């Protein structure tokens, strides 16, 4: 029985869902909230639900359920605005920390530091940055090591904000500003 929070839309018994990035499809058999069966769930509800056509092992932590006609976006790469909260030295292109976004935990490699930003105004600084250190703000392009679901923060905040962790510490926080979707054919 998958459990989670309804972020948007209404989930009803009989709805066909796709779980991404696993790319598994199933039909909602029943919905429970606080051990009480309900016929539908609305945004904000914490629920458990049974899905016909899926085994217990088909759905993994970090999967996002969506209706078949509006699936979530699996990212090939994404651009993010980050703020470095803590780092003992500095880091640059090639650095591969762990990104915690919704319930997913995926290592992501920094491919490019697009712009270093003035932390007070948010405006791009003229010089090209080669590294970031504590207190810096920047726009970076990141590539997930394995498939993960992200959305632009302005379109869908719950799937667009994240924390970056390394060696047991939160080193940065950020929001997704752009996504390049992976080519995934959703099963019908």
- What is the residue extent of each domain of the chain? 3-67, 75-181
Using CA atoms, how far apart are residues 161 and 159, in angstroms rounded to an integer? 6
Could you tell me the pLDDT band of residue 17, with boundaries at 50, 70 and 90?
very high
What pLDDT is recorded for position 187?
67
Please tell me the CATH code under which domain 75-181 is placed. Answer: 2.40.30.10
Contact 20, 71 (CB under 8 A): yes
Using CA atoms, how far apart are residues 112 and 28, in angstroms rounded to an integer? 41
What DSSP line would sit under 40-51, residue for residue? EE-TT-EEEEEE
Using CA atoms, how far apart are residues 96 and 175, in angstroms rounded to an integer? 17
Tell if the pTM clears 0.85, that is, is over it: yes
For 135-144, the pLDDT digits (tens) are 999 999 999 9
Domain 3-67 has CATH 1.10.1740.10: no
Q: What are the residues whose beta carbons fall under 8 Å from the beta carbon of 182, sequence distance 6 or more?
A: 21, 74, 75, 76, 147
When mean pLDDT is compared across 56-60, 92-96, 154-158, the lowest value belongs to 56-60
For 21-60, the pLDDT digits (tens) are 999 999 999 999 988 999 999 999 999 999 998 888 889 9
What pLDDT is recorded for position 188?
61
The distance of Cα 79 from the centroid of its chain, to the nearest Å, equals: 12
For 65-77, the pLDDT digits (tens) are 999 988 999 999 9
């Amino acid at each position: 029985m998958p459990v989670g929070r309804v972020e948007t839309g209404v989930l009803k018994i009989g709805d066909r869902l796709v779980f991404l990035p696993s790319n598994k499809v199933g039909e909602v058999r029943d919905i429970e909230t606080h051990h009480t069966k309900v016929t539908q769930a609305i945004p904000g509800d914490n629920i458990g639900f049974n899905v016909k056509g899926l085994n217990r092992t088909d759905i993994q932590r970090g999967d996002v359920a969506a209706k078949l006609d509006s699936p979530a976006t699996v990212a090939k790469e994404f651009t993010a605005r980050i703020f470095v909260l803590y780092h003992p030295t500095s880091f640059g292109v090639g650095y591969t920390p762990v990104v915690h976004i919704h319930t997913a935990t995926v290592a992501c490699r920094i491919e490019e530091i697009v712009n270093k930003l003035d932390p007070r105004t948010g405006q791009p600084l003229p010089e090209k940055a080669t590294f970031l250190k504590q207190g810096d703000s920047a726009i970076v392009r990141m590539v997930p090591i394995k498939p993960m679901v992200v959305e632009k923060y302005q379109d869908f905040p719950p799937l667009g904000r994240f924390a970056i962790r390394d060696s047991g510490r939160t080193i940065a926080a950020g929001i997704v500003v752009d996504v390049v979707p992976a080519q995934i054919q959703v099963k019908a």
